[in-house]
Amino acid sequence: MIISKLQERIHGYALTLKETHHKEAHTTPTIKPSAANDGTTIVCKNLFSNIPARQKFLKSDAVEFSHILDTFIPLAMIHPETEFTLTHNHKIINRLERGGSFRARIAELLGKHFFSTLIPLRFETDDYKINGYISAPEHAQEKSKHQHIFINKRPVKDFLILKACKTAFSNLIAELLNGQSKACSRHSLLLRSPIPIQYLRMNRKANSSTANQPPTELLHLFL
């Protein structure tokens, strides 16, 4: 169920998806006026309860909740002007007040200690502006976690930027470990597959990147 209300409206609207019992039928959406607070509330409950054949494809509760977090975190991160609340099993997991900065929102989501290990990054030309935070070489990671790229306030996956950051990291780590023991497993890992932690915002002109990119498309290509 999705319930949404604009601040200037008296009431909001509720969109409900009801599953049918017929295998051939699709989920039927209904929209009707509803009492609501300002903003948008999304509720996921009893997924595929009427269709056991689909329900068996769901993973454990922990895995499915991790997918929700993967959606929640980047959206909350890039919109510090918006208040976000994440509730799971009637327990508040995250409540983020609006009005802060990108920097404050990252620290609030990931923790101040984690944020303190990041390095501010800023670069600007006539065509685009990049700012955000990236980890120092000694904090490189094994997996591609904590990599968030936003283009015009949209979370995207851009392999060109990811590869550029990883290549630069490889060179820095090689210099960092020069003259040190290569027998250390941590050093061997860094030399083999260094992946930076990065939270980057990029603003470009409309004619500098894909302008007709579908709203649900995460992959981004520069023209």
Residue 222 lies in a domain: no
Residue 57 has pLDDT above 80, yes or no: no
- Helix intervals (H) in the chain: 52-55, 61-78, 102-110, 112-115, 159-176, 185-192
Q: Are residues 57 and 13 in the same domain?
A: yes
* CA-to-CA dists, residue 16 to 13, 29, 30, 34, 164, angstroms: 10, 6, 5, 11, 43
Residue 218 lies in a domain: no
Q: Give the residue numbers spanning the domain of 176.
A: 117-208
Q: Are 196 and 166 in contact (CB under 8 A)?
A: yes
Beta-bridge partner residues of 87: 92
From CA 87, how far away is CA 89, in angstroms rounded? 7
Kindly report the CATH number assigned to the domain that includes residue 17: 3.30.565.10
Model pLDDT, residue 76: 92
Residue 112 lies in a domain: no
How confident is residue 176, by pLDDT bands cut at 50, 70 and 90? low
Average pLDDT, integer, range 28-32: 84
Reference 148, options 67, 77, 221; nearest CA is 77
Report the range of poorest mean pLDDT among 6-20, 60-74, 110-124: 6-20
Kindly report the CATH number assigned to the domain that includes residue 196: 3.30.230.10
Continuous segment of H or E residues that includes residue 147: strand 147-151
Within 10 A of 121 (CB to CB), how many other CB atoms are there? 15
Q: Can you give the pTM of this predicted structure?
A: 0.70
Q: Are residues 132 and 197 in the same domain?
A: yes
Q: Are residues 121 and 76 in the same domain?
A: no
Residue 76 lies in a domain: yes
pLDDT tens track for 195-219: 778 888 888 766 555 444 554 455 5
Q: Are residues 124 and 78 in the same domain?
A: no
How confident is residue 183, by pLDDT bands cut at 50, 70 and 90? very low
Residue 109 lies in a domain: no
User: Count of domains in the chain?
Assistant: 2
Residue 74 lies in a domain: yes
How confident is residue 27, by pLDDT bands cut at 50, 70 and 90? low
User: In this structure, what token pair is assigned to residue 95?
Assistant: 């409540």
Q: Are residues 131 and 92 in the same domain?
A: no
Q: Are residues 158 and 90 in the same domain?
A: no
Q: Are residues 12 and 48 in the same domain?
A: yes
From CA 18, how far away is CA 3, in angstroms rounded? 15
What is the percentage of the chain residues whose pLDDT exceeds 70?
A: 71
Q: Are residues 63 and 121 in the same domain?
A: no
Model pLDDT, residue 211: 45
